[in-house]
Amino acid sequence: MTVRDYAIRVKNTDESYDNIPGILSKAQKRTLVAYENTAGAELAGVTWTSSNPHTARISGEGLLEPQNYGKTYITAKMADGITLKTEAIIVINEIQGFSITRPETDRADYAAIRTAEAVYQVAAGETYRVGCVLSPAYTDTYSSSIGMAGSRFNWSSDNAAVSVGALADSDLTEIRIPQTVSGQVNITAVMKDAEYT
């Protein structure tokens, strides 16, 4: 009796293979293949299906295209009738920016609120750009929300592998996620001392 050792893998553009990530952003398309580990070769004649095409659809050639926030499972049916199913694949939305909400009561209370924190679901290898809004913006002339340049904050992450910092050429802040990180990441923005009065 021949024992088949099959797996669903991601095929990269350089012809290498990876495991399937558990989290993808909408921009992260992946090509899936059915792979026979014993023979070290891809299998032909595979039928692909997604349990939730609204979240991610997959073509007959194995191209996985995230569509909307949610969860799906991908099934590969081999020509010999064997069926494989992935673990859950979660598609995340693009992450939202920061908002610091300050009271309008008096300037001392207003100035004391300097920190914004956000918990993001991120995908491995992605780069995100976010803005920061001060709401309301307490001034002598008006009180409304205004956008603030990322350079007016000190940025940090609870994961040392994640790079986060203000961009020099825009008001946005860039969050770089390495290939080794996915899932939940906490980002903190603290307004600089000279910027919050």
Phi and psi (nearest 5°) for 180?
-90, 0
DSSP assigned state of 112: H
In the chain, where does DSSP find H-type helix?
A: 107-112
**Is the per-residue pLDDT at 85 higher than 90?**
yes
Alpha carbons 90 and 24: distance in angstroms, whole number:
6
Q: Say which residue the tokens 């194995």 belong to.
A: 62
**Is the per-residue pLDDT at 148 higher than 80?**
no
Q: How many degrees, rounded to 5, is the angle at CA 135 between CA 106 and CA 194?
A: 70
Higher pLDDT among residues 40 and 137, named by residue:
40
What does R_g of the chain's alpha carbons equal in angstroms?
A: 23
Residues 45-64 have a mean pLDDT of 95
Which residue type does 134 have?
Answer: L
**Per-residue pLDDT tens over the stretch 4-32:** 688 999 998 888 898 888 888 888 899 99
Peptide bond into 136 cis (omega under 30): yes
**pTM, entire model:** 0.61
**106-119 per-residue burial string, b: 16 or more CB within 10 A, e: under 16:** eeeebeeebebebe
